[in-house]
Amino acid sequence: MWYDFRRMSKAPFVLLVNPWICDFAAHDLWAKPLGLLHLGALLREGGCRVAFVDCMDRRDPATQQSKHLLQGDNQKFGCGKYPKIPVPTPEALKDIPRRYYRYGIHPDSFRNKLREIEKPDWIFVTSVMTYWYPGVSATIEVLKECFPEVPVWLGGIYARLCPGHARRSSGADFVADLPIAQIRGRIESEAHFSLSNPASWESFERSPRPAMDLVKDPTYIPLLTGVGCSHRCPYCASHQLQPKRERRSADALYDEISAWRDRGICDFAFYDDALLLDADAYLEPVLLRLDDEKPKVRFHTPNGLHVNALTSKWCEFLYHSGFETIRLGLETIWPERQHLLGGKVEMRAFFEAVENLFTAGFRGDQIGVYLLCGLPGQTVDEVSESIRRVAETGVQPRICEYSPIPGTAMWNEAVSVSSFDLENEPLYHNNSFFACRRRDFGYGDMVMLRNLARSFRLRDLQ
């Protein structure tokens, strides 16, 4: 379809949409569409009008009144369960003995929200996990039904990692598999409109804070102090998605946190891939300023911290600054695999980090340690030993089932190990599906290891 954007001589009105998620499980673990809200802030600063519809709003009143879905609920630190509707399991995932759901608001509520909005000039839909694409396609289908003549662009992580698949199956008119700096040019040439803030699109440091004000009554705020990571772990897409390491200034971060705190927000979650890298220059001044002020806030690091950065100084600092949820990336306790994965961490450093955290005052149930599970070449024994060894230190082992990601260094190996068509079907990237299962490391082993890790966490609750 061809759209005559030349009619758009004025600033466009852009509708931003966070799509539904389809999966066996999904939790609101401080999950907000940060990329889309970042884009919204850039568009708004550049002169566009924007509106936001969140298909993942857990507290949507119309959905809460509906009897046709399973209701979500609120949990601690602003997190919670999404409402969900069982939907047919896609053929590719049929052998998983679990219910498949579409998570998020009721379709009638979504349609009503779209009816209430002035017709947009443009619709921007985001995406996160590649294997959540059925939720993206279902969202775009409704958007097309309500606004058939409005162009829909799809961006975000699925669009970046699987652009060919997204072009074929999402229903979007354009799949934006470009870095953010190039998206500006594309918007301007399509809309015949000059954004007034070109410099903000060029550098992360200069960009405005994400438009979290578009989210109705947020219960927590996601934060991104920097993008990119100096490591190149073979299973990770960080470098593909954000090749350049960039940081926001300490002042900008302080302003963002204090503004939300003054509006009553207590919980803040960092999405950074490398939060503690150069933290003396960026994070330390912010935490020091916040330390003198009231009310106190709580911080959470769901995406994992680098073990080597957890010196005794930093552990004490994190404790006194209100860090509540600590996650560490250990991957495995086997030195050979640690080396193959880039040699970021050694057991000596891990034990030291755990000791530093305990000495600083953290409890074991606040500290979760991510262990990779099911990597090509990994054995069941390696993972179970890792789980036990981590549990012995008094902290909580957490399994990260390997999710193969196109374009990563490990991708070709994953494709050759797997008996599933990883290259053409992103549903097989689902961490619950475990596409790299094999004779000596099957789906049942994965379930057993997940339960083993959970049993140690439950032990800590007793």
Could you tell which of ligand SF4, ligand B12, none binds residue 391, using a CB distance below 5 to 8 A set by kind?
none
**Shortest spacing between CB 40 and ligand SF4, in angstroms:** 25
Interface characters, 213-252, with ligand B12 (x: CB under 6 A):
-----------x-----------xxx--xx----------
The amino acid occupying position 279 is A
Q: From the CB of residue 57, how many other CB atoms can be counted at a distance below 10 Å? A: 25
Per the structure block, which two tokens stand in for 66?
Answer: 């509906």
- Please, what is the Cα angle at 219 between 218 and 223, to 5 degrees? 75
Partners of 268 in beta bridges: 221, 299
Per the structure block, which two tokens stand in for 352?
Answer: 């030291």
Q: Which of 29, 70, 181, 281 binds ligand B12 (CB under 6 A)?
A: 29
Per the structure block, which two tokens stand in for 45?
Answer: 């600063």
Question: SS3 for 85?
Answer: strand
Could you tell which of ligand SF4, ligand B12, none binds residue 231, using a CB distance below 5 to 8 A set by kind?
ligand SF4
**Shortest spacing between CB 341 and ligand SF4, in angstroms:** 8
Q: Which of 57, 60, 267, 273 binds ligand B12 (CB under 6 A)?
A: 273
Q: Which of 11, 15, 22, 26 binds ligand B12 (CB under 6 A)?
A: 26
State the burial class of residue 343 (Cβ atoms within 10 Å of its Cβ: 0-12, 13-18, 19+).
Answer: exposed
315-374 residues in contact with ligand SF4 (CB under 6 A) are 329
38-77 residues in contact with ligand B12 (CB under 6 A) are 38-39
Q: Is 423 in the site for ligand B12 (CB under 6 A)?
A: no
- 3-state DSSP helix/strand/coil % of the chain, to nearest 5: 40, 15, 40
Whole-number Å distance between alpha carbons of 221 and 415: 37
- Please, what is the Cα angle at 212 between 210 and 215, to 5 degrees? 150
**Torsion angle of alpha carbons 77, 81, 83, 85, nearest 10°?**
160
How many residues contact ligand SF4, by CB under 6 A? 8
Find the distance separating the first CA and the last CA of the chain, reported in whole Å: 60
CA 318 to chain centre: 22
Pick between residue 126 and residue 338 the one whose CB is nearest to ligand B12.
Answer: 126
Q: Which of 190, 401, 413, 423 binds ligand B12 (CB under 6 A)?
A: 401
Q: Is 231 in the site for ligand SF4 (CB under 6 A)?
A: yes
Q: Which of 41, 69, 129, 138 binds ligand B12 (CB under 6 A)?
A: 129
Q: Is 236 in the site for ligand SF4 (CB under 6 A)?
A: yes
Q: Is 307 in the site for ligand B12 (CB under 6 A)?
A: no
319-358 residues in contact with ligand B12 (CB under 6 A) are none
Q: Which of 180, 215, 275, 277 binds ligand B12 (CB under 6 A)?
A: 180
428-457 residues in contact with ligand B12 (CB under 6 A) are 429, 431
Pick between residue 238 and residue 418 the one whose CB is nearest to ligand SF4.
Answer: 238
Q: Which of 233, 279, 436, 453 binds ligand SF4 (CB under 6 A)?
A: 233
Residue 298 contacts residue 280 (beta carbons within 8 Å): no
Whole-number Å distance between alpha carbons of 375 and 234: 10
Specify the residue for token string 């509520």. 109
Q: Which of 229, 269, 277, 395 binds ligand SF4 (CB under 6 A)?
A: 229
Which residues of 374-448 form beta strands (DSSP E)? Answer: 396-401
Q: Is 120 in the site for ligand B12 (CB under 6 A)?
A: no
State the burial class of residue 459 (Cβ atoms within 10 Å of its Cβ: 0-12, 13-18, 19+).
Answer: exposed
How many residues contact ligand B12, by CB under 6 A? 40
Q: From the CB of residue 430, how many other CB atoms can be counted at a distance below 10 Å? A: 23
| Interacting span for ligand SF4 (CB under 6 A) from 26-34, 228-236, 275-283, 313-321 | 228-236
By the criterion CB under 6 A, which residues form the site for ligand B12? 26, 29, 31, 34-36, 38-39, 124-126, 128-131, 153-157, 160, 176, 180, 183, 224, 236-238, 241-242, 271, 273, 302-303, 400-401, 403, 405, 429, 431
